[in-house]
Structure 1
Amino acid sequence: MTQNQQTEHNSDTQYLNWLSKLFPTIAAACTEIINLEAILHLPKGTEHFLADIHGENEAFQHVLKNASGNIKRKVNELFGNSLRESEKKELCTLIYYPEQKIELIKESEPELEDWYHITIHQLVKVCRDVSSKYTRSKVRKSLPPDFSYIIEELLHEHTDDTNKTAYVNVIVDTIITTGRVDDFIIALCNVIQRLAIDQLHILGDIYDRGPGAHIIMDTMQRYHSWDIQWGNHDILWMGACAGNDACICNVLRLSLRYANLATLEEGYGINLVPLATFAMETYGNDPCEEFMPKVTNGATFDGKTIRLIAQMHKAISIIQFKVEAQIFLRNPEWRMSGRNLLSCIDRQRGVCIIDGKEYEMKSNNFPTVDPAAPYKLTEEETKLMKRLHHSFAVSEKLHRHIKTLLGHGGMFAIYNSNLLFHASVPLNSDGTLKEVTLYNGEKYSGKELMYQIEMTIRSAFNSDTAPAERTYAIDYFLYLWCGKDSPLFDKSKMATFERYFLKDKTTYKEEKGYYFRLRDNEAICDSILDAFGVTGDNRHIINGHVPVHASNGENPIKAGGKLMVIDGGFSEAYHNETGIAGYTLVYHSRGFQLVQHEPFTSAADAIKRGTDIKSTTQIVEMSAHRMLVADTDCGNELKAQIVDLKKLLYAYRHGIIKERRR
């Protein structure tokens, strides 16, 4: 035996000894092999893909509750013509919002006990259907402890078995007579919601625009199985949490732009009083017309509040341009100094000179900008930024939520032959992967670029990171937000300054990178998939980031089906632009379905009137056979475990390892 073979043998023996602690006998190992082989032949679990939620917590939570229409579809299949449409609608609403719906039922239902009996049997039937593709063990783990035994009994006993009818009916009667029936129904509805989605993939941008990003993050902290590929807006909040002052300014600016103060103040306890005080004192006589907020979500503000928000908006924007310039200047390798435009303003003539060309200004009021040192913060601005920085630094909830994003997320992921990332992979004009230089001076492209960026992001939060490296990592959040070669931006520039201050709208154009221009090319998508090591007969890239203009006929399915873009505009701010309210991509055992949602009214309307998100389902790709667990990444892991267990059996039977009998 060679030295390498001996090392490999010793390593195998060591591993099998460890495995024998989990499966101490031949019988235990055989039982686990049988169990794993059986699991391989179950249908594949349902994966849901969402992107660009942008703080729309009610619409997001409704999509989770109805599993993108999957629960409604199952109710229709199970009850067909045996229930009226109104009854099926009532049942669906109960499953989505059990606590609130039960209260309404109790106010209006004269035969409440009958309703309880009928409803429990209906819910058990739905629960039995959604749990049918899972093992009993997995279903058991999903059950609430208080009702685990009862639900399990009802799921596996049928009233059509005459020997079990009385048994089942007594269980239901006892649930009612003991006064636990409301809690039981609520628990059963939550189990249905839980089992309807096996894995949730979020392709970035939980934050900004809508009012409830913090509520979404609270939901995700409790959610059973999910992952996220960070989006540019998530990175902005992560940077703010890490202490990047430019990211803090951008977070505040975007929140003020959409009059979304709830996430900052109510969600994370960010104190905006110092900013409001500074803005009123500094811009009290400025009309701030270009900084009037975009009011959405049915929010109403009086004129005085709108004006104050506009003043705060301008105040933080000017500070942002200064702080960004300081970061760009200390990182010259980014080649971003061309975005430092405060120094390009000719105040006397009211123009901004960019690349030798003059552009007329909309506004020429810059009371805090010193022409001799345009990027130096005034004493008041410095004090304000220290207070804002402190407010973000001590927000325990924000830090907890960002830790959750770090724990569940990354720059990209590969699941079941699908490559997931938020926005782009930097490309050259010929479609080849573009090399990008990072902090260590090394050039990376494709998968390695994404990995190295992720490691840089994580190093900003690690206490053992070298000080210089950590400082750079914190700065780097700004580049990821607006840098030309950032996989999360990938545009020629971010024209924030131009939109606020220049009259010439041609300056607003942000030229998209080559990925966005070439991604409808199937050969280029294949080359990206190859570079990331994605295999399989039916492999795909799945993105968000750029809203799909469905109202203009744009198709979210591109490159001959190789690429799927599922940002249809969850955010209310996009509804007029896109004509829809988001996409959900559903990948179940039969294949892919794309669900296109119309705007959601409200949870209150759904509860009272039984309204649902109106959705259109498009078959994207159907499998020639029903996909099983064996066809998935999880299946490959189980097959590897089976191989190891068979090695353990061999070792037991040949005396290499002794059984651990008690």
Structure 2
Amino acid sequence: MRDIEYLRLLSKEFPSSRKAAAEIINLRAICALPKGTEYFFSDIHGEYEAFSHLLRSSSGIIRAKIEETFGNMMSEAEQLELANLIYYPREVIGKIRRDESISTKELHEHQKITINRLISICRVVSSKYTRSKVRKKMPSDYAYAIDELLHLDMNDSNKKLYYNEIISGIIEIDFADEFIISLCELIQNLTIDSLHIIGDIFDRGARPDLVMEEIMNFHDVDIQWGNHDIDWMGAACGNTACIANVLRIGISYNSFDALEDGYGINLRPLSMFAAEIYRNDPCSCFKMHILDESKYDSVNPTLAAKMYKAISIIQLKLEGQLIKKHPEYGLEKRLLLDKIDYSEGTVKVGNKKYKLNDTNFPTVDPKDPYALSEGEEELVRTLRLSFIHSQVLTKHVKFLYSHGAMYRSINNNLLFHGCIPMDDKGNFTCMKTRDGSFSGKELMDYLNVKIHDAYFLDQRDDYEKKQDAVDLMWYLWCGPNSPLFGKDKISTFERLFLRNEKELCEEKHNPYYTFSAKEEYADKILREFKLDPEWAHIINGHVPVKTKKGESPVKAGGKLYIIDGGISKAYHEQTGIAGYTLIFNSHHLALAKHKAFIKGQENTPEIQITEKTKKRILVRDTDVGKSLLNQIEDLKDLLKAYESGAIREKGKT
């Protein structure tokens, strides 16, 4: 009875045997197409210009398609010119329009050649899709013309005049520029079928807000949260320790544009507080990291240093309060403000005393070092309101929730940002919570629920549960058993006040990073998530791959890909490159190794095929394909119901 009721519902969409049969034919044809190309990015860290270029260029694939299509027919310079047009059509066209030396006749001839070349590239990149799918991606105003140009047979002499008249008409009515822009954007859109972001969109780089806008405008995207993302999500939930940390990192990396212009965070109360409290303090240990001298913000560096120190002290106090509130976190060793001898200017870490780099703590009460001063309390309240009422941040965080998760399993690939915490013996580590202890896949599923509770649970329904989830967002940012962090500690205090003590500043990685590089443990992780180790891969970010030291992003016999190669400028010196894109098409897996992005220069990544598929992967072999095959079986059952009379076709008596 349940099945017949389901088929009755299905009959509303396909009210006749003819319509059901037509859909079966359509779905069978789609299943026989090659799978779409998936792109995997990780650790973007606010590098908007570099990330935007990688999306526009499909990490070098568009450049490769141009060479494949035209070969020796176009010079290297012409190919680069065409590639730059596809990446930045409005800018390139604007430059041509401003060139007064080009006559109208020359301009029209250039437009005609350009349209023909773009149509050729468009044919290549659209060949694996149905006409209907390609048409849906076309701009509605030009869809008819583009569709006709893409599918004309130029060997048919009767159609050549028709083809030429379409192009001539576009040029004569002065719509060539917009038509060319539409073709360029269509090529960009068709080259990447789906986009996977393996965490850490935020922090360090100048404009994470613009990165989010770019991601939100993409047609098919999912996100696996990173620890920097969860920190911002925690801030949006009202976690004041997360808010302080977000501000500390933003100020330290000179990201005032993102904070103030991008998210509308009012930093004036913090600047006024810092200027007053630290007016005679040079705050010399709190200098900003300047990654790009040409983009130095107008904030006074001396004031920025005071703001950096003020929010750092507040952060350490708020974190101490959370550690004391949650003994299950097991972070008592990170309580260091109460280990300071304020008269000596030393701090006791373990059994040893160390001299502090900075000894001026005007807002710290040695008798109660984790208590906020009256001024700090008022400042924190103001900053919290600024975060939770930011319309742009609210929009971005809701997208992170709707399109994000702790992990995703798709097309035999397991995606997560950091690690599956392990102990020294290679067993999955249990994370203690107020709801019990969890490990492996069970831990990831539990955290998914808690992270949603932090934002969406109404505190009027369960205040304690809500607050526990909000507090946990901070632990996920920096806790030793957090799958997003994956280190034994976060050395914020040491890096600020004991920076010369290198051993104390060291953050040791979770044993996962040693074990997962071995095939047997990669297999163990894949089986934990119900994937077949013979075919599946793990795809991570989080830990920069130091290519210049000979490290490889491919480990565990090709079953583990770590694709954080350092898109962020902060990591270029460590890695020697500017990050990786993992590309998975119907033929192979390939890594695109990025160059440091400099706009206007040759930035095409080096692409290396890392694994060829045994046979070409079709849509029917993918997760989407499995769903389509199930739909086909349902439609076949509907046909049988029509034939037997169990369900009456619309229009038949």
Specify the TM-score bucket, using the shorter chain as the normaliser.
over 0.9
The amino acid that maps onto 2:440 is G
Structure 2 CA distance for partners of 1:584 and 1:303, relative to 1, 3 Å: closer
> What is the letter of the counterpart of residue 251 of structure 2?
L
Q: Could you tell me which of 192, 196, 212 is aligned with 1:217?
A: 212
Give 1:565's aligned residue.
562
Q: Distance in 1 between matches of 2:9 and 2:426?
A: 48
Matching of residue 445 in structure 1 with residue 439 in structure 2: yes
Offset at residue 519 of structure 1 (A): 1.4
In structure 1, the partner of 2:523 is 526
Residue matched to 2:18: 27
Shift of 1:612: 3.2
Separation in 1, partners of 2:83, 2:604 = 14
Larger mean Cα displacement after TM superposition, 457-466 or 130-139: 457-466
Shift of 1:537: 3.6
TM-score by length of 2: 0.97
Aligned positions of 1:2-151 closer than 5 A: 10-108=1-99, 109-110=102-103, 111-151=106-146
Letter in 1 for 2:26: N
Provide, for residues 492-546 of structure 1, a one-character-per-residue CA deviation record: whole Å limited to 9, x for no partner: 1111101111242211111211111211111011011001011374210000000
Q: 1:3 corresponds to which residue?
A: none
Alignment of 1:589-604 (within 5 A): 589-602=586-599
Q: Closer, same or farther in 2 for the Cα pair 1:299/1:235, shift >3 Å?
A: farther
Give 1:191's aligned residue.
186
Q: Which residue of 2 aligns with 1:321?
A: 316
- Number of residue pairs aligned between Structure 1 and Structure 2: 645
Q: Deviation at 1:299?
A: 4.0
- Shift of residue 327 of structure 1? 1.3
SS of the residue corresponding to residue 21 of structure 1 reads helix
What residue in structure 2 maps to residue 158 of structure 1?
153
Query: What's 2:490 paired with?
Result: 494
Partners of 2:571 and 2:125 in 1: CA distance: 34
Partner Cα distance (2:157, 2:296) in 1: 64
| Structure 1 spans left out of the alignment, 5+ residues | 1-9, 606-610
Unpaired runs of 5+ in structure 2? Answer: none
Match of 1:386 among 378, 381, 388: 381
**Residues 72-122 of structure 1: CA deviation (Å, up to 9, x unaligned):** 111101111111111111111111111110111223444000011111111
Q: Does 1:554 align with 2:548?
A: no
Partner secondary structure for residue 348 of structure 2: strand
**Alignment partners' CA distance in 2, 1:304 and 1:141:** 46
Displacement of 1:435 after TM fit?
Answer: 2.0
Q: Which residue of 1 aligns with 2:580?
A: 583
Instruction: Encode CA deviations 1:332-351: one digit per residue, 9 max, x unaligned.
Output: 11111221110000122221
Residues 492 and 511 of structure 1 are in contact (CA less than 8 Å); yes or no, is this contact kept in structure 2? yes
Does 2:352 align with 1:357? yes
Deviation at 1:174, TM superposition (A): 1.1
- Whether 1:345 and 2:336 are equivalent positions in the alignment is no
Give 1:209 deviation, angstroms: 0.5
Moved more, 243-252 or 338-347: 338-347
Which moved further from structure 2: 387-396 or 297-306? 297-306
Query: What is aligned with 2:502?
Result: 505
Change over 3 Å in CA distance of 1:365–1:537 after alignment to 2: same
1:624 partner amino acid: K
2:63–2:604 contact (8 Å) kept in structure 1: no
Q: For the Cα contact (< 8 Å) 1:158–1:168, is it kept in 2?
A: no
Quick one: distance in 1 between partners of 2:209 and 2:295? 21
- 17-26 or 541-550: bigger deviation: 17-26
Taking the aligned partners of 1:476 and 1:310, their CA distance within structure 2 comes to: 29
Q: Distance in 2 between matches of 1:275 and 1:471?
A: 26
The one-letter code of the counterpart of 1:499 is: R
* Structure 1 residue 613, shift from structure 2 partner: 1.5
C-alpha distance in 1, partners of 2:378/2:467?
Answer: 21
- Supply the AA of the counterpart residue of 2:345: G
Counterpart of 2:266 (choices 271, 295, 318) is 271
Identify the match of residue 455 of structure 2 among 449, 455, 461. 461
The CA distance in 2 between the partners of 1:535 and 1:444, in whole Å, is 23
Tell me how far 1:129 sits from its aligned partner. 1.1
Of 394-403 and 502-511, deviating more is 502-511
Match of 2:466 in 1: 470
Report the RMSD for the aligned CA atoms in angstroms: 1.4
Taking the aligned partners of 1:276 and 1:158, their CA distance within structure 2 comes to 67
Contact 2:224–2:417 (Cα < 8 Å) also in 1:
yes
| 1:331 CA displacement | 1.2
- Residue 285 of structure 2 aligns to a residue whose secondary structure is helix
Alpha-carbon distance in structure 2 between the residues aligned to 1:443 and 1:386 = 33
- The match for 1:243 among 233, 238, 244 is 238
Change (3 A) 1:654 1:301: closer
Q: Is the 8 A contact 1:600 1:613 kept in 2?
A: yes
Which among 399, 403, 411 is matched to residue 416 of structure 1?
A: 411
The equivalent of 2:162 in structure 1 is 167
* Aligned counterparts of 1:44 and 1:358: Cα–Cα separation in 2: 60
Opposite residue 248 of structure 1, the aligned amino acid is I
Task: Please name the residue that 1:281 is paired with.
Answer: 276
- Looking at structure 2, the residues matched to 398 and 302 of structure 1 have their Cα atoms a distance apart, in angstroms, of 21
Q: What is the match of residue 5 of structure 1?
A: none
Query: 1:301: Cα distance to partner?
Result: 4.7
How far is 1:55 from its partner?
0.4
Select the residue among 608, 624, 628 that pairs with 2:618: 628
**Structure 1 residues 284 and 66: CA distance shift in structure 2, 3 A:** same
1:348-407 per-residue CA deviation (whole Å, 9 max, x = no partner) reads 222111222212211211111000110111111111111111111211011001001111
Deviates more, 1:446-455 or 1:556-565: 446-455
Name the % identity. 47
